[in-house]
């Protein structure tokens, strides 16, 4: 004998969340039923709204419920002429947290991967190319990850930049601040050496 | 600059789930938006239904969307005359998984705790007493936890059982199977010694 049918259905539905298995889903549903039904109903409403109303910013492709996201609406950011190309919307949050970048973003929502059938069109690189063509952009910072697919995507976009004579730069890879040399993996160390600067 | 307003609201709503902080909530919402909007909408619907329709079984007080839960509807289980008193509905799942108990349950949804204002009425012990009064019950197994409050609750219910001349038993506490003696805490060891049996 298990939980009642409705509770089992709810447990199964909760496992669509990443990192939530049947055991933690059961704990979640019991916790909501016992202590926070109001929170559960609120979650259900907000979740439905987010799933149906959030789409992509027509300029930078990040997630937003508006036509254009807040960052792209900011004219000061547009005026810098700098675009940072990232893989995921969460990367924007990470860069914004540093408070050091004042340009715009472009979100690819993935990386080029011919084997998985992910083409430049899937990443909306044509939209990015149109923006480069417009002539308002002077530098493209490529902040895709340092995986094979991330490198290939960066290279692909840098080729497009060349076509329009726009400077493209890649963010630096090396030893993280506070990281110890003997704990860092080999390929990071190679990057750190090849990317060394003169004092 | 942060996420869009709707996404921030959704992240905040998700943190009502136990063990989910802002960071994992953000990961969840991005994952749903990217890969599984259908799952998110389904979760929202099922969650709302569970929060509004699940109430307590009128007999054993466990969570169910029906008037009486499946276990209480089972006449064979009623006929055993045994009631296992547990703290939480999840305890029923744990006992059922053993497949060794064929009686009914009674869920307290907590323990007596005068300091927190939790009285016998809050735990519906009056409903349990009515069931004991009816004369169909021959044994009450007290499976509340071994905390001070759990022990006090077990003692309180055992006193009621005495009043109706019904046998009340407490589940055994001791070394868990596979547990090593030197890794077990002192109070468990004391329970294990005092609860020893003759071969």
List chain A pLDDT tens, one digit each, 199 residues. 478 899 999 999 999 999 999 999 999 999 999 989 999 999 999 999 999 999 999 999 999 999 999 999 999 998 999 999 999 999 998 898 888 889 999 999 999 998 999 999 999 999 999 999 988 899 999 999 888 999 999 999 999 999 999 999 998 888 888 878 788 888 888 887 877 777 7
Q: Chain B residues with CB inside 8 Å of A70's CB?
A: 1, 4
Query: Is A47 close to B43, i.e. CB distance below 8 A?
Result: yes
Q: Of A10, A19, A45, which has the smallest distance from its Cβ to B50's Cβ?
A: A10
pLDDT of residue A187: 82
Query: Is A30 close to B2, i.e. CB distance below 8 A?
Result: no
Q: Identify the bridge partners of residue A93 per DSSP, sorted by sequence position.
A: none
Q: Chain A residues with CB inside 8 Å of B36's CB?
A: 16
pLDDT of residue B89: 92
- On whether the CB atoms of residues A7 and A25 are closer than 8 A, the answer is no
Cα gap B174→A19, rounded to integer Å:
34
| Top-tier CATH class for B66-170 | alpha beta
Q: Of A1, A69, A90, which has the smallest distance from its Cβ to B26's Cβ?
A: A90
Cα gap A30→B64, rounded to integer Å:
11
Question: Which CATH architecture fits A5-53?
Answer: Orthogonal Bundle (1.10)
Cα gap A60→A124, rounded to integer Å:
10
pLDDT of residue A199: 76
| Residue A176 DSSP code | P
Give the mutation candidate from A2, A3, A74, A124 for the B interface (greatest B CB count, under 10 A): A3
Q: Which residue has the tokens 């939530």?
A: A20
ipTM of the complex model: 0.83
- On whether the CB atoms of residues B99 and B147 are closer than 8 A, the answer is no
How does residue B182 score in pLDDT terms, banded at 50, 70 and 90? confident
Cα gap B195→A111, rounded to integer Å:
63
pLDDT of residue A103: 92
Q: Chain A residues with CB inside 8 Å of B7's CB?
A: 50, 54, 63-65
Q: How many CB atoms lie within 10 A of CB B152?
A: 15
Name the more confident of B198 and B73: B73
Task: With a cut of 80, say whether residue B69 has pLDDT above it.
Answer: yes
Between chain A and chain B, the number of residue pairs with CB atoms below 8 A apart is: 182
Mean pLDDT of B130-141: 90
Residue B105 to chain A, least CA–CA distance (Å): 12
Query: In a 3-state reduction of DSSP, which class is residue B69?
Result: coil
Query: Is A16 close to B39, i.e. CB distance below 8 A?
Result: yes
Task: With a cut of 50, say whether residue B1 has pLDDT above it.
Answer: no
pLDDT of residue A26: 93
Query: Is B109 close to A48, i.e. CB distance below 8 A?
Result: no
pLDDT of residue A146: 86
Long-range contacts made by residues B191-196, C-beta under 8 angstroms, separation at least 24?
Answer: B191/B146
User: How many residues appear in chain B?
Assistant: 199
Mean pLDDT of B18-30: 93
Classify residue A115 by burial, with Cβ atoms within 10 Å: 0-12, 13-18, 19+.
exposed
pLDDT of residue A136: 87
N-terminal to C-terminal alpha carbon distance within chain B: 71
- What stretch of H or E contains A107? strand A104-107
pLDDT of residue B178: 80
The fraction of chain B above a pLDDT of 70, given in percent, is 99
pLDDT of residue B107: 95
**Which of A11, A107, A18, A25 has the alpha carbon at shortest distance from A58?**
A107
Q: Of A6, A47, A89, which has the smallest distance from its Cβ to B54's Cβ?
A: A6
User: A81: which 2 tokens?
Assistant: 């002429």
User: A104: which 2 tokens?
Assistant: 């715009």
Domain spans of chain A?
5-53, 56-170
pLDDT of residue A7: 93
Q: Which fold has domain A56-170?
A: Dna Topoisomerase Vi A Subunit; Chain: A, domain 2 (3.40.1360)
């Amino acid at each position: 004998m298990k939980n009642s049918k409705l509770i089992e259905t709810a447990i199964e539905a909760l496992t669509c969340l990443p990192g939530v298995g049947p055991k933690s889903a059961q704990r979640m549903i019991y916790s909501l039923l016992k202590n926070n039904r109001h929170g559960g109903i609120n979650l259900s409403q907000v979740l439905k709204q987010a799933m149906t109303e959030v789409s992509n910013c027509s300029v930078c492709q990040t997630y937003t419920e508006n036509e254009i996201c807040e960052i792209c609406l900011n004219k000061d950011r547009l005026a810098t002429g700098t675009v940072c190309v990232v893989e995921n919307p969460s990367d924007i949050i990470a860069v914004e947290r540093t408070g050091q970048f004042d340009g715009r973003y472009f979100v690819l929502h993935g990386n080029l991967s011919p084997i998985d059938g992910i083409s430049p069109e899937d990443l909306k690189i044509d939209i990015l190319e149109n923006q480069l063509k417009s002539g308002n952009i002077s530098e493209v910072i490529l902040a895709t990850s340092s995986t094979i697919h991330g490198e290939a995507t960066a290279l692909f976009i840098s080729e497009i930049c060349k076509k329009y004579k726009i400077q493209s730069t890649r963010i630096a890879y090396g030893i993280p601040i506070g990281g110890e040399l003997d704990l860092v993996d080999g390929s990071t160390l190679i990057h750190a050496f090849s990317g060394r600067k003169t004092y």
